[in-house]
Amino acid sequence: MHSRMRNPAVVLPDAMKPIQAILKTAHSAGVDGRLLELVHLRVSQINGCSACVDGGARTARRAGVSDERLATVAAWREAPYFTAAERAALALAEAATRLADRSDAVSDEVWDTAATHFDEQQLAAIILMIGVTNLFNRLNATTRQIAGARG
């Protein structure tokens, strides 16, 4: 397996600085870092980004996410390891990633459920994590970044 090129955010390092600033902001908004890592992992699974799934699982594990939760995040609806708040965040992550799958991409039901668990600042952090993850997934998938490789 070979990547087509280095990650564009590495090739153009000035692009990485604002992305890292967004991630830092998301992590400072009062959302448990483990939840943000689960969101990152689920979005990356949906998009089939092997580099982000691999890196996301490693980061989540370092953040304290259990092996059971890592192994079942793709099946979070059927797994007993997730809280109601985590389920709401994962549903929001799936809807906001699969925008073209339905006419109302993020339904009121998904939004309202998430809004019962998170305040506006926390929702903003989760949405930023979803957006940045989708950005990285697209960069990595397009350039065929390899799981376990860096750059």
If pLDDT is split at 50, 70 and 90, which confidence band does 128 have? very high
Q: Quickly list H helices, the chain.
A: 8-11, 13-27, 33-47, 50-63, 67-72, 84-97, 108-117, 120-142
If pLDDT is split at 50, 70 and 90, which confidence band does 137 have? very high
Alpha-carbon distance of 36 to 150, in angstroms, equals 21
What is the average pLDDT across 43-62? 96
| pLDDT of 151 above 60 | no
Percentage of the chain lying above the pLDDT 90 cut: 91
Query: What pTM did the predictor assign?
Result: 0.94
Alpha-carbon distance of 27 to 23, in angstroms, equals 6
What is the average pLDDT across 138-145? 95
Domains and CATH numbers, the chain: 10-142 (1.20.1290.10)
Q: What is the pLDDT of residues 83-108, one digit of tens each?
A: 999 999 999 999 999 999 999 999 99
Residues in the chain, total: 151
Q: What is the pLDDT of residues 30-46, one digit of tens each?
A: 999 999 999 999 999 99
If pLDDT is split at 50, 70 and 90, which confidence band does 150 have? low
What is the average pLDDT across 133-139? 97
Token pair 């483990």 in the structure block, residue:
34
